[in-house]
Amino acid sequence: MDKRFFNLYSHDFARVAVASPRCRVADPAFNAQETIRLAREAADAGAVLAAFPELGLSAYTCDDLFHQRALLDAVLDALADVVAASSTLPLALVVGAPLRVNHVLFNCAVVVAGGRILGVVPKSYLPNYGEFYESRQFSAADNAAVDRITLLGQDVPFGPEQIFALESQPLFRFHVEICEDVWVPIPPSSYAALAGATVLVNLSASNVVVGKSGYRHQLVSQQSARCLAAYLYTSAGRGESTTDMAWDGQSLIYEKGDLLAESERFLGDSHIIFGDVDLERLSVDRMHTTTFAQSVRRHAHEVEKFRVQAFAVPLPLDRDLPLARLVERFPYVPADGRRRDARCTEVYNIQVQALVQRLQSSGHQKVVIGISGGLDSTHALLVCAKAMDKLKLPRTNILAYTMPGFATSERTLRQARELMRVVGCTAHEIDIRPSCIQMLKDLGHPYAEGAEQYDVTFENVQAGERTSHLFRLANHHHAIVIGTGDLSELALGWCTYGVGDHMSHYNVNASVPKTLISHLVRWVADTKQIGETGSDVLIHVLETEISPELVPGKQGTGKEEGKPAQVTEDFIGPYELQDFNLYYTIRYGFGPAKVAFLSWSAWRDRANGPWPEGGSPARNQYDLAAIKKNLGIFLWRFFKTSQFKRSCVPNGPKVGNGGSLSPRGDWRAPSDSEATVWMNQLARIPD
């Protein structure tokens, strides 16, 4: 693992290429040379598959020239050149060619690797409408009377039901369809995906008209998403005849609905794009989506038709090959400003709607919430305020309490007071130190006698007193307690169990990670939802270092404006890294090595890739040693020490696909499991 850690193929990625060569109509020799040149470029870049356009060896716009023997013979010569060139190229090629089979002409995709033809796939659906007249020259795949043919002296499989399997990467299995095949209600690739294909390839020519580019995106995106697959879409470009049509050479690579790569359109020369496909992601989602297997069973008659053609090409494992795809630093927070705003709007409304429903169903019109002046309680208070607005109830029905303890700073106390004021809730202040002293006396704790012993008991007495007050206040005022703890804290077990911040009547932040809460609060500030003054308060909260404020500073006052005695991230690591680890661990179940590789890809260089617009000014970067260290903290706390806290969490809404840790939702796990296998894998990551 050490030697190959920095190679994407070691982590179940595969690099694929989609090429659009400049062509000459009815000049197969020229077209073959352009194809070979781009194939070499793809191989040099570390790709294991390169796809080329429909009828690319002849050009798509030959019309009745397709019935000329000279052209068809020249195509065979050109194909022979491609096959010969493939013997020195470590990748599979898919090229388009018109081929005669038993006196019938087919529009075909020819799959080539290692100097041999792996299979020939004829087009299933021939368009014969609008500007298309393919049935004039070609026959559809259903008209084939054979399932094997002799081509260039090789006996090869023939037919649309073929899957090509890379022996050195069991998750890499691809299927080929041609242009119109993906435009029909049930594309052949749908059945191929059910039969095990993870990569779907479309050799297309596809002329361009106004609006067609966007529709291609929709088709390819939806097919990749529905099939839980990668989808490679080729298109003819410069050189095709413009007698009656025009061509833009648009190439696309999608993975499960996400765009990995897109070519620039209307280029004047040959071009190629690359995408690094996450094969494990596709496999995990198929395993997780149990209706995928149900579909396999339901369509067994079609699935059983597929034949698997195995092939071998060496993976480029002899060099560093980092990911070329963008890995978001903040998987819960889109970098793009418009997408971030849309995400924040949706998450905020989910939380508000969930709280509105809980209040209506429980018959309560008031809520009780503790306000620390920190991030989580700030956001929970904003949700409560919006819920009251939705219910047409006064915000004074929010009974907010700030409860300073032994280490509460003047800064957070001031922020709590200002926040309650600008929100317009009913604000209260309860000094919990007297009740904590009484509890510590009852326990016989040394602090009650003047000793500076700041142990876990000292900390949890404060957390418990706050929660105990909130619950009894809720009883007294016929209200419910709103929880403030977030998903990140729950994942790391950074909460006081039971009568502590672990417990509430309803927790609106239950499945919202810390990094997203930060952006939600900033979004509320940026959009001035609680006024100019309120936005200033929120910005001050965002600039406050995260601390539980349970242990006093060295002077014993705990009220310094500077760095608090406790800094949360000193104990559990940076939330930005831990949220990254959390996402890929619970969303996909990736192992430590892959999580670390993804984290290294995202965080190793602050100048590489976009940052969330409007986010924190901090631009951190981490080397692999820091990534490994913090991943170790996460794995130990998540798998070994914290599950018992997650097994009995309060109700709260799931807000995203990044996961919920409720035992009634996404995550069911034993409270007494071991972390051994994760820690052993972590140890194999290079330092």
Considering the candidates 23, 62, 179, 344, report the single residue annotated as catalytic.
179
User: Is 429 a catalytic site residue?
Assistant: no
How far is it, in rounded angstroms, from Cα 253 to Cα 169?
A: 20
**Among 167, 222, 169, which residue's Cα sits nearest to residue 200?**
222
| Residue 473 and residue 399 in contact, taking contact as beta carbons nearer than 8 Å | yes
Q: What tokens were used for 545? A: 């270092």
Beta 13-20 vs 49-51: how paired, if at all? parallel
Phi, psi angles (nearest 5°) of residue 117: -90, 120
Phi, psi angles (nearest 5°) of residue 111: -100, 125
How far is it, in rounded angstroms, from Cα 344 to Cα 615?
A: 12
Q: What tokens were used for 417? A: 């007071």
How far is it, in rounded angstroms, from Cα 460 to Cα 207?
A: 68
How far is it, in rounded angstroms, from Cα 257 to Cα 224?
A: 5
Considering the candidates 123, 256, 514, 628, report the single residue annotated as catalytic.
123
Angle at CA of residue 629, ends 623 and 633, nearest 5°: 140
Phi, psi angles (nearest 5°) of residue 600: -60, -40
User: Is 179 a catalytic site residue?
Assistant: yes
Angle at CA of residue 33, ends 32 and 35, nearest 5°: 65
From start to end of 336-452, where are the E strands? 367-370, 398-402, 426-429
Which CA distances in Å does 98 have to 12, 249, 270, 351, 359? 35, 20, 21, 57, 67
| Residue 509 and residue 488 in contact, taking contact as beta carbons nearer than 8 Å | no
3-class SS at 320?
Answer: coil
3-class SS at 368?
Answer: strand
How far is it, in rounded angstroms, from Cα 98 to Cα 105?
A: 7
Residue 255, beta-bridge partner list: 230, 258
Considering the candidates 23, 34, 54, 134, report the single residue annotated as catalytic.
54
Catalytic residues: 54, 123, 179
